[in-house]
Amino acid sequence: MKMKKWFIALVVLAFVATAFAGCGSGNGGNGGDADGETIKIGANFELSGAVAKYGEDTMEGIKLAVEEVNAAGGIDGKKVELVTLDNTSDSAEAKAIATRLATQENVLAIIGPATTGATQATIPVTEENQIAVITASGTADNLTVKDDGTVNEYIFRICFYDSVQGKIGANFAADNMGAKKVVLISDNSNDYSMGIAKSFKETLAESWTDVEIVREENITAGDTDFSAVLTNIKAVDFDMIYAPVYDTEAALLIKQARDLGIDAPIMGADGFDSASAMGEVIGMENFNNVFFTGHFAAGDPMAVDFTALYQEKLNKEPNGFNALGYDLANYVMQACERAEELTKEGVHAALLDGSTFSGVTGTFTLDEFHNPIKSVVVNEYVQGVPTFKARVEP
């Protein structure tokens, strides 16, 4: 009986919420045109809350790119104006802000949010207002695809999606490292790890039939003692470990492997992109022969100019989010430039025109699911410092 009451209350609440959401978008029909003097782009980012660091870092890169374009005269003589709003790292707030940007601020396109969850929350808004949302760092595989396998028409991204990293990992292991016998360790409590492990295996089976997975082991997020798994691995003959897990587990895994005398190279995905936290666990001088796929490396020849510019303007070394933000802003501004008319429909059409973009995180065109086909950076930890190793094609 009690359950039933709760259920009814929930249903009522859901109705009220939908009704209000409907109201909010009622006045949205007219928006989208540039007001003649400036080109307005909405920025919907995590500037406070749990993942504020992602949003702030991305915004830093975006602002730099916009400054540059405006200093060079803007687009078709019009200055670019950013309308930046803080979604407080909250998905519901991200949705509300997307609505506000589309209906009240009349922006041409929305960039951000930084995380998959918040970006997903904006999908209904994009469809209702026919406005493009482009994220720089939402990497979940299904972000741009609906449950029925069709594309989310107004959602775009300029970063690789998670399981691409499995493919890159396989290519790097086989091609650059010359590995023949690989041990695969994945975290069976999270989709990220399982997805990457799956595409790693598939790529080896398809393209590198001479490379064998000699042992597969599972760990679970929250585990701290990996000695049993590592002792098993030690007993088999292998030349490389591929372990797409998050940094907390990765750090303990690497430390315990080295303690047990396993010196083989260990490779992971962007979960390893956490130099200081992992270095604390492993110890800088022991933190070697570890590789990971990432979005950006400061030492990448493609990014030399950008790194220098960052040093000059902001007096620091750019990180991956800075670089993605810089590319994101440039990508959208170039779409505005290509657009036949400066409306949100025009910009959306320009995003779909198949042009090639060349940025500091890579050169790419979008595929049919709005995912960029681009090369990925592989970094190597040398005494705890991530160092550019190679660019690998998917």
Partner 1 sequence: MEKLIQQLINGISIGSIYALIALGYTMVYGIIKLINFAHGEILMIGAYVGLICVTTFKLPLIAAMLIAMVVCAILGMLIERVAYKPLRNAPRIALLITAIGVSFLLQYIMLYRFSATPMVYPASITGSFGSIQIGNIIIPVIRIVVTVVTIILMILVQIIIKKTKLGKGMRAVSSDRDAAQLMGVSVDRSISFTFLLGSALAAVAGVMYGVMFNVSPMMGSSSGIKAFTAAVFGGIGNIPGAILGGFLLGIIETMVSAYISSSIKDAAAFAILIIILLVRPSGLLGKNVREKV
Interface with partner 1 (CB under 8 A): 188, 217-220, 222, 224-225, 227-229, 231-232, 234-235, 248, 251-252, 255-256, 259-261, 277, 279-284, 286
Minimum Å distance from CB 243 to partner 1?
A: 13
Please say which residue, 16 or 221, places its beta carbon nearer to partner 1: 221
Minimum Å distance from CB 273 to partner 1?
A: 15
Minimum Å distance from CB 331 to partner 1?
A: 32
Task: Find out whether 365 and 355 touch, Cβ atoms under 8 Å.
Answer: yes
Please say which residue, 160 or 287, places its beta carbon nearer to partner 1: 287
Please say which residue, 25 or 289, places its beta carbon nearer to partner 1: 289
Minimum Å distance from CB 152 to partner 1?
A: 31
Minimum Å distance from CB 248 to partner 1?
A: 5
Please say which residue, 282 or 297, places its beta carbon nearer to partner 1: 282
Please say which residue, 177 or 214, places its beta carbon nearer to partner 1: 214
Please say which residue, 1 or 228, places its beta carbon nearer to partner 1: 228
Q: If DSSP codes are grouped into helix, strand and coil, which group holds residue 135?
A: strand
Minimum Å distance from CB 252 to partner 1?
A: 6
Please say which residue, 26 or 222, places its beta carbon nearer to partner 1: 222
Minimum Å distance from CB 259 to partner 1?
A: 4
